[in-house]
Amino acid sequence: MNESTGHPQPDATQNSISTEPPSVDSETRDDVVFESPRSIAPVAQLSTRGLFLALAAVCLFPLITLSAYAIIFGKASEHQLPVNVIVDRRPLPTFDGEKQILEDVVVIENEADFAIPNVTVNLNGQYFLYQDKPLEIGETLVVRQAAFATKSSQRWVPGRYRLTDITVTGKLPSGARGVTEVQY
């Protein structure tokens, strides 16, 4: 015991440094030397079933939400646009105005008791035409099929393609978009 501090004095054998490894059999020594490092990463807490259910919920939630929204509030095509759409051949004046030529046309007649602004017509979902001025009450719009073009300005050629459907959209007085689709 140390007389000045009152603490026990360590053995001389405890302070000496030994260069010899402790006596351990060779199998235990290999395990100590080749022990895999301990991971500090979090351990997986989600089972396979839990992971599947979580992914299914993440994928199905938007689909169910959008379906419910469409059922409750209705689709845009449920707001019928009161127009009559006819595909016809009519004589139209030439560009110089002296003669008339028989051309393939799309005829749109407003059957509503209000003017329809923002009228857009498309053929086969690819060829579009936008009418700047509103379609007035009882007004008939006669448009050459050759006037329709894609977004990349490729023109519709009557007779080259089969006309399968015409979609006419316009703004209703409620502010909703009205749609009329005609299938051929």
Output the DSSP codes for 55-116. HHHHHHHHHHHHHHHHHHH--GGGSB--EEEEEEEEEEE-TTSS-EEEEEEEEEEE-SSS-B
What pLDDT is attached to residue 114? 94
pLDDT tens digits, 26-45:
555 555 566 676 777 777 67
Looking at every residue in the chain, the average pLDDT score rounds to 82
Report pLDDT for 121.
95
Any residues with CB less than 8 A from the CB of 104 and at least 6 apart, and which?
A: 87, 88, 89, 144, 145, 146, 158, 159
Helix (H) or strand (E) holding 13: helix 12-15
Rounded to whole angstroms, the Cα distance separating 85 from 96 reads: 28
Residue with tokens 């997986």: 44
Q: What is the pLDDT of residue 20?
A: 56
pLDDT of residue 40: 77
With a cut of 50, list the residues of the chain below it in pLDDT.
Answer: none
- According to the model, what pLDDT value does residue 10 have? 55
pLDDT in tens, 126-151: 999 998 899 999 999 999 999 999 99
Residue 32 backbone phi and psi in degrees, to 5? -70, -40
- What integer pLDDT is reported at residue 71 of this predicted model? 84
Q: What confidence score (pLDDT) does residue 96 get? A: 84
CA angle 175, 179, 182 (to 5 degrees): 165
Confidence at residue 5, expressed as pLDDT on a 0 to 100 scale: 56
pLDDT (0 to 100) of residue 43:
73
